Amino acid sequence: MADADPREQRPFSLNSLTLSVYVPTLLFSIGQGAVLPIVPLFALELGASAAAAGFVVGMRGLGLMLFDVPSGVAVSRFGDKGVMVLGTAMVAVVAIGASLSKSVVVLATLMMVMGGGWAFWQLARLAYVSEVVPSGQRGRALSLVGGVYRLGLFLGPILGGFLGKYYGLGSVFYAQAAMGLAASALMFVVVRQGSGAEDLTGHGIGGRLVSTVVEHRMVFLTAGCAVIALQVLRQGRQVFLPLWGDAIGLDVAQIGLVYGISSFVDAGLFYPSGYVMDRWGRKWASVPSLLTLAIGLLILPATTEAHGYVLVAMLTGIGNGFGAGIVQVLGADFTPAERRGEFLGVWRLIGDVGNAGGPFVVSFIVGIASLGLAATCCGALGLAGVLLMWLAVPETLQRGRTRSSTR
């Protein structure tokens, strides 16, 4: 962990991030929330099986994983602002292509490229916030990012469900493109140029990456594995809720509404999550988040009608919301002052192994067994993640600075 941070001496207000981070995040997440429950349903409409639909969703996670390290290098070379703008614009362009897809293969490929755009956006945003926010306010700042993101995931599925029902599933991708372009334009105008244009000579890019991994290997092995478990649960939830709703006979508008309710509960917990992280420690948010998500997925196969489905969706929303921003906060806490982009690239790669792995695990188990068994397996993995986070991951809260910064 980095030593004394000179930013701690500067006055800082979360309001300064409103136009540069929070509003673009809201726009971007509304678009993402609109398509999340639509992607597997759109794949089904194109003729995919339930297993293939899970595979299509998994391609988005694979794209995230493949582009994490390149996005970290891009941040070090070109700066936070340019990479954030590039990522949102990239997602918007690919969304238009996805709406025109006529085959499952094309849709899956575009989902992978779209995941790459998300990788650029997310890592550059994290690098920017890590740079400008003092460590004592980082939990609240990044949980607020997570909360705004979740607000978008509440509004997005409702919008997506309405558009999908009355204008066709392809129309939802156009809404995502519009939101992405709006976020990109806003950041281009208001975000100041952050860090970047580092000297990448010397050991070269490959040497810098290897050195970063070796120097911080214990962080990646302990906290990284716990984050993988959390991300598998989160991505599994995004696949299970729409597919299980379809399996019990709900239509696209009903699934979108339930998904939106779950995301509303999720979004409402961002400030308590940030407060807990800054007041008592990061584990006090991460462990309950993992546990609640795991329990939700374990009991999902027992639901056979709408009421039980809604309750499970709300429970997983609580679990996801209580961990709002935790992966970003841990990454920012562990990030060294030097090679910030490379470290965060590797950190995002580890987390996105869970993003990519979750849907692929679901797809594989559904293909050989059932959707219910896949949910149970993910829930069991979540319980293992609870133990790992509790026992093996060091607490990163710097209590002295936190107390002074929360007055």
> DSSP letters of 202-265?
TTHHHHHHHHHHHHTHHHHHHHHHHHHHHHHHHHHHHHHHHHHHHHTT--HHHHHHHHHHHHHH
pLDDT digits (tens, 9 = 90+) for 197-253: 555 554 566 677 788 888 888 888 888 888 988 988 888 888 888 888 888 888 888
Where does the pLDDT of residue 108 fall: very low under 50, low under 70, confident under 90, or very high at 90 and above?
very high
One-letter amino acid at 320 equals N
pLDDT reported for residue 406: 35
Mean pLDDT, range 93-121, rounded to an integer: 90
Q: What would the mean pLDDT of 277-297 be, rounded to a whole number?
A: 91
Which residues have C-beta within 8 Å of that of residue 221, sequence separation ≥ 6?
none
Task: Give the phi and the psi of residue 201 in degrees, each rounded to 5.
Answer: -80, -165
- CA-CA distance, 291 to 323, in Å (whole number)? 11
Q: What is the pLDDT of residue 405?
A: 37
Per-residue DSSP letters for 135-161?
A: GGGHHHHHHHHHHHHHHHHHHHHHHHH
> Tokens standing for 314?
């709300």
**What is the distance between the alpha carbons of residues 216 and 336, in angstroms, rounded to a whole number?**
9
**Domain extent listing, the chain:** 17-192+205-405
Lowest mean pLDDT among 187-201, 270-284, 316-330, 331-345: 187-201
Beta strands in 259-367, from DSSP E residues, in sequence order: none
Closest Cα partner for 73 from 187, 204, 220?
Answer: 204
Burial class (CB in 10 A: 0-12, 13-18, 19+), 180: buried
For 300-324, the pLDDT digits (tens) are: 988 888 888 889 999 999 998 888 7
Across 89-112, average pLDDT: 90
Count CA atoms within 13 Å of residue 80 on its CB side.
Answer: 22
Largest CA distance in the chain: 61
Question: Among 209, 188, 184, which residue's Cα sits nearest to residue 72?
Answer: 209
Counted residue by residue, the chain has a size of 407
What are the structure tokens assigned to 15, written together? 């309001």
Q: For 376-404, what is each residue's pLDDT tens digit?
A: 888 988 999 899 888 888 887 766 544 33
Residue-wise over 188-220: b if at least 16 C-beta within 10 A, else e?
Answer: eeebeebbbebeeeeeebeebbeebeeebeebb
- The architecture of the domain spanning 17-192+205-405 is Up-down Bundle (1.20)
Q: What is the dihedral of CA 229, 231, 234, 239, to 10 degrees?
A: -100
pLDDT at residue number 198 = 54
Residue 113 near residue 67, CB atoms below 8 Å: no
What does the buried/exposed string (b/e) look like for 276-311 if buried means 16 or more CB atoms within 10 Å of the residue's CB? bbbeebbbbbbbbbbbbbbbbbbbbbebeeeeebbe
On whether the CB atoms of residues 396 and 333 are closer than 8 A, the answer is: yes
- Please determine, for residue 360, whether its predicted confidence score (pLDDT) is greater than 50: yes
- Tell me the whole-structure pTM to 2 decimals: 0.72
Average pLDDT of the chain is: 82
- With bands split at pLDDT 50, 70 and 90, how would you rate the model's confidence at 254? confident
Highest mean pLDDT among 47-61, 72-86, 172-186, 353-367: 172-186
172 or 337: which leads in pLDDT = 172
CA–CA separation, 5 and 131 (whole Å)? 10
In the predicted structure, residue 8 carries a pLDDT above the cut 50: no
**pLDDT band (50, 70, 90) for residue 26:** very high
DSSP class of residue 394 equals: P
